[in-house]
Amino acid sequence: MTKNCVRFALPLAMLAGACVGTSKSANPLSPAIAGPISGVGITAPGVLEPAVDALISTTTQPITLKVSNATTTGVRPLNYMFEIATDPNFTNKVVAQDAVPPGEGATSFTLPTSLAADRKYYWHARAGDGANVGPFGATSAFNVFTPVIFGVPTLLAPVNDADTGTAQPRFVWANASHSGPVGTIFYSLEVNRSAIFNADSIHASWQVLEAPGQTELVSPVGLSAGQYFWRVRAHDDGGRTGPYSSIQTFRISGSTGGGGGGGGGVIINPSGSWEDCGSTPGPDITICVEAAINPAHTIEGAFEVTKRVAWLLRGHGYGLLRKDGGENIVSWNGISFAAARIVLTNGHLFKLLSDVPTTNGPGWHDEGVDSGLINRWIAPMQP
């Protein structure tokens, strides 16, 4: 019998080891289980929020990421890992959060802190059960930006129902405060016969470039006698608009004459039509036409300004520049033109508008005299 016990000692030990393994695989919910578990598959979560390439203001942080839940063929519950990086390869991770508990149908993760502004971020997520992990879902991206915020301008004159003493009053206001990456700042001034302003009732409106500290505008037209209401607001060339100022009142007495005018800033698009931008050479007319027609940021858009400015200045001897080769050429009425240049009959070449796509902006640059340009001068045709 002693020999028999010795003979079975090793097989019994091996059997005991086998029983331990059977116990672990029979309890897949055990937190101590060794993974991965064979045969378990976990799908990738789907991107829900924020939308791909979303623009997220710094004022709405911290950001919440949301994915549709993954599925698993196993019995263990899933949790989620979220990663955010500044590059699509995730070599520079700024957030890595594991063990995010699942939600009902979708899972959300709100970042513990705000991200740095004015840059692009990439993110993805994956699910795991503690023993097995699924693949990362599709990489998505969003942009955190600093918004442009305008304050309220303060109206200085005319105020408190003062009589202006002229049919062309001088409007003055303290500039609006602003924050963020603001562009060129303009002000829209509206004058009305009542305190109710709407698109159908505005008596007159003008735009003017911001001046340092405070901005002013002398009415470019004479106003008839009576009481008027006025207000202004700031905006920039990127389309960001601030709030209107409070409304102030003034009066024009019946004894005032016309006259006055002049000075008070660069009037932009006084009537909404480029044809009313005047006929004085220089940057003001270019700014006015550009603001009036709001061209596309393309070579063709630049030419839309060029041909209109040339038409307005035709009485001064300005014309279009024929250009049969080279860069930034457009075709109009069967002739090739330089997209952003007009010429004087004395051979001066003027660049009017940036001809680089996405950076169009009003300008006026005398590029000197070239006698060879005279033979390529073409009188402007009606736009």
**What percent of the chain stands above pLDDT 90?**
42
Tell me the pLDDT tens digit for each residue of 74-124. 999 999 999 999 999 999 999 999 999 999 999 999 999 999 999 999 999
Which pLDDT value is given to residue 180? Answer: 86
pLDDT top residue among 123 and 9:
123
Q: What is the mean pLDDT of residues 233-260?
A: 80
Model confidence, pTM:
0.48
Tell me the pLDDT tens digit for each residue of 187-226. 989 999 888 887 666 788 888 888 999 999 888 778 888 9
Which pLDDT value is given to residue 264? Answer: 47
Q: What is the mean pLDDT of residues 65-77?
A: 95
pLDDT top residue among 262 and 360:
360
Q: Identify the band that residue 12 occupies on the pLDDT scale cut at 50, 70 and 90.
A: very low
Tell me the pLDDT tens digit for each residue of 360-376. 566 777 777 776 776 78
Euclidean distance between CA atoms 108 and 342, whole angstroms: 58
Which pLDDT value is given to residue 314? Answer: 86
Q: Identify the band that residue 356 occupies on the pLDDT scale cut at 50, 70 and 90.
A: low
Asked if the model's pLDDT at residue 13 lies above 90, the reply is: no
Which pLDDT value is given to residue 164? Answer: 93
pLDDT top residue among 22 and 139:
139
Average pLDDT taken over every residue of the chain: 83
Q: What is the mean pLDDT of residues 289-297?
A: 79
Q: Going from the N-terminus, what domains does the chain have, and what CATH number goes with each?
A: 46-145 (2.60.40.10), 149-268 (2.60.40.10), 294-378 (no CATH)
Which pLDDT value is given to residue 343? Answer: 87
Asked if the model's pLDDT at residue 51 lies above 60, the reply is: yes
Which pLDDT value is given to residue 83? Answer: 98
Which pLDDT value is given to residue 301? Answer: 86
Which pLDDT value is given to residue 77? Answer: 93
